[in-house]
Amino acid sequence: MRSSSSGSNSIENLITEVNSDTSNIGKMAASSASSSTLEFINTMFPTEASLVAVDPLIHKLRNEIRRVDAEILAAIRQQSSSGSKAKEDLAAAMRAIQELSQKIKEIKSKAEQSEVMVQEICRDIKKLDFAKKHITMTITALHRLAMLVSAVEQLQGMAAKRQYREAAGQLEAVNQLCSHFETYRDNPKISELREKFKNIKQTLRSHVFSDFSSLGTAGLKDDGQQMQQLADACLVVDALDESVREELIRNICSKELTAYQQIFQGTEVAKLDKAERRYAWIKRQLRANEEIWQMFPPSWRVPYLLCMQFCKVTRAQLMEILDTAQPKPDVATLLQALQRTLEFEQELAERFGEGSLSAGTDEDSDEDAPEAAEQDGELTASAIRKKYQKQLAAKQHEGDTEKQSKQIAGNAAAMAGFSFKGTISSCFEPHLGAYIELEEKTLMENLEKLVQEETWEAEEGSQTNILTSSTQAFLIIKRSLKRCSALTKNQTLFNLYKVFQRILKAYAGKLSARLPKGGTGLVASATGTEGQVKVTDREEKVICYIVNTAEYCHETAGQLAENIAKIIDTQFSESIDMSEEQDEFSGVITKALSTLVLGLENKLEAELANMARMPWGTLEGVGDQSEYVNGISAILSSSVPIISGLLSRLYFQFFMDKLAASFAPRFYFNIFKCKRISETGAQQMLLDTHAVKTLLLEVPSLCGQASPPGSYTKYVTREMGKAEALLKVILSPMEAIADTYRALLPEGTANDFQRILDLKGVKRTDQQPLIDTFSKRGQGGVPASPSTIAVTSSALSPANPLMPSATQEIREAMMARAAALGRGAMAQSALAAAAVSSTGLKRIFALAEQAKEGAAKKEGFRKLFNT
């Protein structure tokens, strides 16, 4: 064992020695460093038998240590030799930098010397260059001045001889030459030439205006020389200021319209009914002077401006006639003049459309030619004149110069805000009130006629079940809208829209007035029929037709508003709204359905009266359902299928909801109208009540519904369940009647309880103890039997915490007892009830199928105003 311990000590020493290495042995030492050396040895040599491998491991570790020591020694030697070499390289780089800096300084010095030398050489050259530039500018200015003087003198001679074509080209040349001397305008010579040029232009303007004063004289079209001279004068006007052209066109238009103003001012032909003669006059003038208009450049658009001025003059004259006419013109004359005016405006708009606003092309002009010739020293006044004469010729035939394009663009921009449509016709707008009054009168008369001629039957073969008067009324409105929109789309159309609103409200009133009305007055009040509505089978159909018609009018009124909003001017479109009129028709629908319910109730009232007159206190046995139930079944089977075939599903459901909400409570309170009800009578009435409830639940199926709506079924079951609960209370024993009443009708009052005692035939003297017991039960909610009284008394004591649960158990026991009483009464006539119910339902379904075969399916009426 000593040898083993000595071997372990030597291994520990070797491992400690190798811990500083970075080789594989270093990794092993690192892992062993995380734990104790002893743990490492135990891991390597877990048993004594494994100690055999100690010597090989020690030999391996010593070889690895020698290899690592050799590598470290080589690295140290290499590092010491590379450090001295780096210092030598750094010193060599520093010496190279100093040499380079010295060379740069020498180059910079030589460059400065060279620059001084170049400046001395070029000093004289710069002086000569500036001198040449100034001399060239002076020669050019003098050359241009000479050309300007020559051109002005030539232009003066042309102006004196009225050589307009040559003068137009010369004007362009002088204008261009003058632009070069803008900076010399303070020079006396330049100012003198500019003033002279201004006088020449004034002279040309005077000559042109003088020559155009002969325009419109007889024989002008036959004098070709004068026509050519005026055409050349137009070229001069184009070369002059734009204001000259505008003034000339204005004078020409005023001269042309002088005769028009004399003819149609305060004369017989100036009346409103002869308005078409005004338009015929200007059309003749345009045709007669067509050759003269061709003399003007197309960019001037003289016929267009003439018609524009004509419209303004005509509008002023017609406004004066309409304002001062006594008596006021009738509607026919007013509309005829307006129609002719609209036709004339449309014709002008088509004649002077947007396609004629532009003329010419965008081809490039030879603007750079004068500069090229000027640089060669060949630019003279005659060359400039010839150049611009050539350009003017090309301009006349092709219209492709930049100036003409600018003129056309300027004219188009000036006339962009002008439209012939409405220029004259707008003056009629304030005076069309009589037309609107006539339209309203005509529409009202037609509406009255349609209502009077209405058969109150749906058109044969129609699938919409609406009245003919409604479609005819909207057709009349459509024609009125079409007439007015063809004349104006401004305030007058908006006023007509207001008329349409009044017409639709009036028609809604006519539909509402046709509905059957209840009895009124002293006689109805005395007989008890006040407010009752008697409705025949034919009137039921009429009411259904009114419902469908009101629905159609509601939809079509909205479409009418949308159509008017699209047609009318945008300033009025947002004010177009038919919601009030649609509400009127919705009110008609509600009133009609309510009247239909009241009429059916009136029919059922007779059967309820028969129910109250039956001898319920003397019935000997329970049998088939009573006659009044058969009567109710007959009324429903005769009326409901027809109503369901005429009304839409939505309105039929509304009708059934209203009927159930009205009939079920009436049936409940009708039980109190009966006299004494025996136990047998109560059993029979309970059977009848169940049959009536079944009828009401099966009625919606007549409309084709697979199952009645849940809300309808729930309501009928709840309301008719009250009647069944009332009868179960009547069937209950006298000693438990108060508790049964509290359990089945918890909302019942003492007065109702006393009425129930009256129905059971209890004498007044015997009622008081029962009423007192009911009052006590009302305070504590206790049952009737003595045993339960004790339980209840203990439950009501303050020390008993189980009071709520005990009371609930007692209440449930009373409910179960009352239900057992009802089941016992029903069991005696279950077979008869099943047979009667089956017979009644079969009769209803048979009549429903017959009604469905004869009723067409309701489809949406086509939108009238989309055609």
CA distances from 252 to 201, 206, 228, 648 (A): 20, 15, 17, 72
Burial bucket for residue 287 (CB in 10 Å: 0-12, 13-18, 19+):
exposed
Report pLDDT for 409. Answer: 46
Nearest to 844 by CA among 701, 720, 689: 701
DSSP 824-844: HHHHTTHHHHHHHHHHHHHHH
Please give the backbone phi and psi of residue 773, each rounded to the nearest 5 degrees, phi first.
-65, -40
Question: What number of other Cβ atoms are within 10 A of residue 813's Cβ?
Answer: 15
Report pLDDT for 705. Answer: 64
Distance CA 612, CA 624 (A): 18
Distance CA 521, CA 529 (A): 10
597-607 pLDDT per residue, tens: 998 888 888 88
Alpha-helix runs per DSSP H in 162-220: 164-179, 188-212
* Full set of structural domains in the chain with CATH: 2-122 (no CATH), 253-361+399-428 (no CATH), 432-593 (1.10.357.50), 614-731+829-854 (no CATH)
pTM: predicted TM-score of the whole model, two decimal places: 0.61
Nearest to 685 by CA among 829, 831, 814, 843: 829
288-318 pLDDT per residue, tens: 887 788 888 888 888 888 898 889 988 888 8
Contacts of 71 (CB under 8 A, 6+ apart): none
Contacts of 476 (CB under 8 A, 6+ apart): 443, 446, 447
User: Can you give the three-state secondary structure of 468-486, one letter per residue?
Assistant: HHHHHHHHHHHHHHHHHHH
CA distances from 73 to 19, 69, 341, 474 (A): 18, 6, 120, 117
Distance CA 253, CA 307 (A): 9
Which tokens go with 370? 């004068």
CA-based max dimension of the chain: 159
- Residue whose structure tokens are 């020293």: 377
Are 216 and 253 spatial neighbours (Cβ–Cβ below 8 Å)? no
Residue 519's DSSP bridge partners are 530
DSSP designation for 516: -
Report pLDDT for 563. Answer: 93
Length of the chain: 867
Distance CA 118, CA 124 (A): 11
Are 610 and 507 spatial neighbours (Cβ–Cβ below 8 Å)? no
Which tokens go with 682? 């109560």
Distance CA 374, CA 140 (A): 9
Distance CA 855, CA 850 (A): 9
Burial bucket for residue 302 (CB in 10 Å: 0-12, 13-18, 19+):
buried
Are 542 and 456 spatial neighbours (Cβ–Cβ below 8 Å)? yes
Report pLDDT for 809. Answer: 46
Residue 530's DSSP bridge partners are 519
Distance CA 249, CA 612 (A): 101
Distance CA 422, CA 417 (A): 13
Q: ∠ CA(26), CA(29), CA(35), 5° rounding? A: 155
Which tokens go with 503? 């017409």
Q: Which residues of the chain have pLDDT under 50?
A: 1-12, 14-15, 18-23, 25-26, 29-32, 34, 354-381, 397, 399-416, 520-530, 779-811, 813-867
**Could you tell me how far CA 295 lies from the centroid of its own chain?**
54
